[in-house]
Structures are given as C-alpha cells and as structure tokens.
Chain A
Amino acid sequence: MSVTISIPAPLRQFAGGQSQIVVEAKTAGEALDSLTSTHSALRRHLYNDQNMLRNFVNVYLNDEDIRHASGPDTPVKDGDTIMIVPSIAGGAVVESEVGQELPELSNEEIMRYSRHLIMPEVGMQGQRKLKASSVLMIGTGGLGAPVGMYLAAAGVGRIGIVDFDVVEESNLQRQIIHGTKDLGRRKIESARDRLRDINPHIEIETHESRLTSHNAMQLFKNYDIIVDGTDNFPTRYLVNDACVLSGKPNVYGSIFRFEGQASVFWAEKGACYRCLYPEPPPPGLVPSCAEGGVLGVLPGIVGAIQANETIKIILGAEDVLINRLLLFDAWTMKFREFKLRKDPKCPVCGENATVKKLIDYEEFCGMAAHQAPAPDTKLEEITATELNARRLRGDALQIIDVREPHEFEIARLPGTKLIPLGHVVGRMNEINQDVETIVHCKGGVRSAKAIAALKRAGFQGRLINLKGGITAWSEDVDPRVPKY
C-alpha cells in the first residue's frame, strides 16, 4: 500500500528537507519504520531508547489517532495519509514529579526483574518507575494478601501496610500472606516477614493502627497510590474521601461469597466511590464475609486485579479501570463490566463538593439505620455464660437457631431448634410463646434481626438475643463447639 507521510516542519531537516514522503507499508508502524530506515536521523525524535513511540508523539492515520485504533498495527490502505503531531508538554522541575531522576537498578535487581525488563511496556524505565513508587495497602486480609505479594514481587519500591488485627485460624482459608506458624501474631508483622522474603530489595513500612479520620490524611500523604482491601463500609468511604481530598488514586476491590468487584477511583480522572454509591446501605443489610462467607480463592482473583491495575498506574498505562466497574462471579465464572460516570453533584468530588475534610464514617454509615424500622422496643440480651448457668439450673427455655442448615452442620448448641432467618416469621407457630425464647446465630446480628421480625409479626412471647452467638458460646462456655 502506498501511504503519504507528512513531515512536521521542525523535522524536515532530518528528512532531506521534504514535507511529504511516500512509503509502501501494510500498517502504520511499518510506514514509520520504512520512513525512519531511509531517514535514520528522524528516528530518535519519534522513538525512545526502548523503541516505543515517544509519549508526546502522536500519529494520525487520516485524522484518527492510531492509539485509538490498533496502535502501530493499525492497517493502512492505498492513498492513506499519516500525520505526525507532537503534544507539547513540559514544565518546571518539581520534587516527586515525573521529571525527577529515577533510581538505578542493581545487577541483582536486573536479574530478578528480567521478565519485566524484556517487555517494552515495562523495560528499564518502567522497572525504575516501579522502584521509585510507593503504595499504601489498607488491610492485609484476603485482598491485601495477593496485592502485597504481587506488588512486592514486582519491585514496588516502598509498600506501606495498615492493619491492627492478629492472625486467626479462620483467616488462613484465603489470606495466603499469613501461614499456620503465624497464628496469633500481629498481621502487619506476619505480612512484613512474608513480603521481605519475597523481595528483600524493597522497603516495607508497617502501621499498626485502625485507619481513622484522624490519621488517614497523614498516612496517605507519603504514598503515591492507595489500595483498598477493607471489608466494611465506614472504612471504604473513609479511604475514598481521603483519596479524593489528597488527590490519590484509590484501587478498589471488594468481595462477598462468590462475587467480587474492582475499579480504580481517581477523582482527577473519573468517578469516585461516592459517585457510584452516594449513600451507604443500611447497617446489617449487606452481610459481611464473616456472616455470609467467601470463597477463599475469590480475594485471590480480585486482589490480583488490584495489583495489576496498581502496576499499570505506576507504568503510566492507558487502559486502567478508571470509570469502569468490573464485576466477577466465581461461581458462573463470568466477568461483566459497567461504565461509570463522574457525578457532577458528588458531595466529595463534584463541582460544588460539600465534604472538604474527613467526617465521622461510623456515624455516616449508621445514619440510615435510624430511618429504618424504628426499634421502639429494646433488644433483650443474654451472654453465653449466663445462658449456660440458666440451663444448668434447669430454667424453662427454648433455643431457636436462625442460621442456615449448612452452618448447623458445622456446629450447634445442644437442644436447639433450627429455623433459618428467612423462615422465622412463616414458621412462627413452631415457637412456643409461653416459654422464654433464646434466639441465636453465629455472631448475634441475624438473631437480632429475627427478633425484630418476630416482634413486628406480632409474636407475644419473651425473646432474648444470645450476645455474640454460637461463637461466644464456644469461647466462653464450651470450646468443643468449633468456631467457624
């Protein structure tokens, strides 16, 4: 195919003074290769040392930027014209900006990262960018585990980890950054050791604290990118707002049972979490993973997507998950994608934002509860120890277990009747209204809901919630009952 390339005025001196050159090629990339092999002095002004088009050099094939088509592989037709147009960038040198000197790689690092280095999309430049970068991970749980491990392995120069928890047995089904030997250890210590083992060339900073409105801005200040691996709404809104206020990208992931979500919320470039979810759900409406369960491999997949997008942001890749919400269903093995749009009325990143500093997120996420069914009657509760004492005394009691049958299979209290939460109102007549009724679940949340539902349905008997559920029973009364 015969293609005409227009040579921009300042480069004509490198092309024998010609303003147009006709070449034979099948693709836009071939056309440029043909041009620069004849006029080799042109090449360095169009391509960088990694043989990639310089990022300020734009190639238009008949008025369309080839980056929006198939890049250098964009096919050309006979008679097409190619224009080379610079975008003009520049500016004063500012600390911690792109213009800054990138750190060098040692020979050991070059060997370690060789699979990155041989790809032009990363190359020496990209690997040095990774080394120069810093990422703060909120949480070292299911999502934080793969995020931390892959970012460490990829050579992100400084990784901060925030967590305040200790490693428990029930974590190990999915939190692969921790091992059996770490049971009872502080998560940040266990995670730090694992990351150090993966890559001794990077810095790991531990922050043993709960992320709060008081410390978030101070913590975020020292990192380029924040990765949200939290499991609750108050912290998720806190991470979002602190990212918007400090201008940092928020690499988001969340998981429940078999379903995961991922996106990149970066207010300067697109929607933030509040543009997607302006209001938190009423408390208790969305169960946590502790209540609803989660497939262990799911956070592995979603966390790996977060790590992937974090690395792409650092490398300056174009197709990052900005303004895109990725939904993943591990049970049907399907990915779906939704377009997101910045909400001009968003209270935190919109044009007339009202949130200018961090607020009380516990309160923000609890407020909706007051609009929900007003709990005019106070919930009566009993501890596991008290319940045991009453049973031993022989008090007349009935215990209703509102968990699901598969949970009942795992562990149960002696002498209980199973009526799952979803059926408790329908099967109300199976509960004797003349005897005191203790209602229990795994942790005490669903049983409280069951009591509220029964009262609304007109149940007349006395209903008492087992505080802390069967978990408290196992901890305080009978350790033979397994915890799950």
Chain B
Amino acid sequence: MIKVPTQQLNEIREHGVRDYPYECCGLLLGRFSEDGKIVRETYPISNAREESAKRNRFLITPEELMKGERYARSRDLEVVGFYHSHPDSPAVPSKYDLEHAWPTYSYIIVSTSPGEATDLFSWEQEADRSRFNEEKIECQ
C-alpha cells in the first residue's frame, strides 16, 4: 500500500496534463514503513529522451536520480517510487515498463488526454519480476 496526500496526487495529474502529448515523469519522495510507503513530496523531472521519442518513452537518467536522492536525503526522505504518464493510453504498465523496473518501488501511472488526467494507478513489481501487481493507493 502507498499513502499519497491529495496535493501530491494532484501534482502528478497536473504534470501529466501539462506535458501532454508527451510523457511526464518524476520521483516520489517519502518513507518506507512497516505498513507500506508514504509519499511526502513529488519531484518532477524533465523528460531526458529526444523529442521524437518523448511521446512513448520516458527516462530519468541515473544522474538525475542521484540528484533527486541527494535532495531527498536533505529533506530526510527517500525515493520510494516514480510516476509517469501514458498519453492517450491506459494507466497500466507495458511489458517495456516491466523490463525496466525493480520491486518495492511504487510506479504510479496516470493516463492523460488533452486537458485532463483520467485514471491513476500505482503498480508494484512482483519479486520474481514476472508481473506488476496493482498497489492500493490510500489518499490522505
């Protein structure tokens, strides 16, 4: 389970709408705890892929992730997951997503269309990498 405050959920949706028709992406900063994860802040990241590929791939470079991690540490937080948008596509992970993920992290996907963000789900990879399981989002 991941707890996300309404404000952060809205930030993710707004980022997705702003970057439409391209994919947006960012980090989820918070803490790992006994009963799941809790998000405290979002950390939007510019999509590092070339213009033509932005529409269907997003990429956070390791340098950006390390920068985000440093920032998180300064706020006494950790990177607990990532979010990205699927423009004009369902908010479910693709096979490509599965190959490029690790367990434990939360992967929030928001489906976007012109001017609005529709579905938003969080996904967690099975420990054997075989699939993604939907993760319950508790809105706070």
Q: From known contacts A9-B79, A98-B96, infer whether A268 and B58 are also in contact, taking CB-CB under 8 Å.
A: no
Contact status B52-A92, CB under 8 Å: no
Contact status A11-B102, CB under 8 Å: yes
Residues of A within 8 A of B23 (CB): 91-92
Stretch from B7-15, B80-88, B114-122 that touches the partner: B80-88
Residues of B within 8 A of A85 (CB): 62, 65-66
Residues of A within 8 A of B32 (CB): 9
B71 touches A (CB below 8 Å): no
Contact status B61-A87, CB under 8 Å: yes
Q: Mark B87-101, 1 if CB is under 8 A from A, else 0.
A: 111000111110111
Residues of B within 8 A of A41 (CB): 127
B25 touches A (CB below 8 Å): yes
Residues of B within 8 A of A86 (CB): 62, 65, 100, 102
How far apart are the CA atoms of A11 and B30 in the complex, in Å?
17
Q: From known contacts A85-B65, A90-B58, infer whether A56 and B100 are also in contact, taking CB-CB under 8 Å.
A: yes
Contact status B107-A90, CB under 8 Å: yes
A58 touches B (CB below 8 Å): yes
Return B132 CB to nearest CB of chain A, in Å. 11
Contact status A88-B104, CB under 8 Å: no
How far apart are the CA atoms of A269 and B80 in the complex, in Å?
32
Partner of B86, one of A8, A65, A91: A91
How far apart are the CA atoms of A41 and B128 in the complex, in Å?
9
Q: Closest residue to A268 on the B side, CB-wise?
A: B50
- Which residue among B50, B79, B102 has the maximum number of chain A CB atoms within 10 Å of its CB? B102
Contact status B86-A92, CB under 8 Å: yes
Q: Mark A59-91, 1 if CB is under 8 A from B, else 0.
A: 010000100000000000000000101111111
How far apart are the CA atoms of A452 and B86 in the complex, in Å?
65
Residues of A within 8 A of B94 (CB): 90-93, 99
- Which residue among B23, B56, B87 has the maximum number of chain A CB atoms within 10 Å of its CB? B56
> Which size bracket describes the interface of B in this complex?
35 or more
A45 touches B (CB below 8 Å): yes
Contact status B87-A99, CB under 8 Å: no
Contact status B100-A89, CB under 8 Å: yes
How far apart are the CA atoms of A58 and B100 in the complex, in Å?
12
Residues of B within 8 A of A83 (CB): 66
B5 touches A (CB below 8 Å): no
How far apart are the CA atoms of A13 and B95 in the complex, in Å?
24
Q: From known contacts A9-B79, A60-B62, infer whether A90 and B97 are also in contact, taking CB-CB under 8 Å.
A: yes
Return B77 CB to nearest CB of chain A, in Å. 11
Residues of A within 8 A of B88 (CB): 92
Partner of B60, one of A65, A88, A269: A88
Q: Closest residue to A48 on the B side, CB-wise?
A: B99
Contact status A90-B57, CB under 8 Å: yes
Nearest 5 A-B pairs (CB), nearest first?
A99-B96, A10-B104, A92-B89, A90-B97, A88-B60
A positions within 8 Å CB-CB of B = 8-11, 13-14, 41, 44-45, 54-56, 58, 60, 65, 83, 85-94, 97-99, 101, 247, 268-269
A85-B62, A91-B84 known; 15 new pairs, CB 8 Å cut-off, are A13-B103, A54-B100, A55-B100, A56-B99, A87-B62, A88-B25, A88-B59, A89-B59, A89-B96, A90-B94, A91-B94, A92-B89, A92-B94, A94-B56, A269-B50
